[in-house]
Amino acid sequence: FGLGVGALFAVVGNKYIIDSSLPESTTYTLVDTLHGLTLLFIFAVITTSVYSLKLIKNNQVDKANRFDRVMAMGLLLLYLGLNAYYIYQANWGN
């Protein structure tokens, strides 16, 4: 959980630094989208960690390991895919 909490602080700190270096905007920018997406996925990782820990405490270690592998790969691919999609839309989309 320490890594997840540290990641939350890092994303929020990064958002403040990036916002101070970019010009003011009243619209929702790509940077805002990517920061929001990153926060969402950090919360998803923390949630899956909580569930996995619950499985381990219930002596379902094999199920927890399988769940961890599936969620790690699934969340990674979804995160990378969504990042690529939003960046593509910002550059070449409508």
Domain span at residue 59 reads: 2-92
Count of the separate structural domains present in the chain: 1
pLDDT per residue as tens, the chain (94 positions): 688 889 999 999 999 999 889 898 889 899 999 999 999 999 999 999 999 999 999 999 999 999 999 999 999 999 999 999 999 999 997 6
User: pTM value?
Assistant: 0.87
Pinpoint the alpha helices (H) of 1-94. Answer: 2-21, 30-57, 61-92
**Dihedral sign computed on CA atoms, order 22, 27, 29, 33:** positive
- Domain of 32, CATH number, reads 1.20.58.390
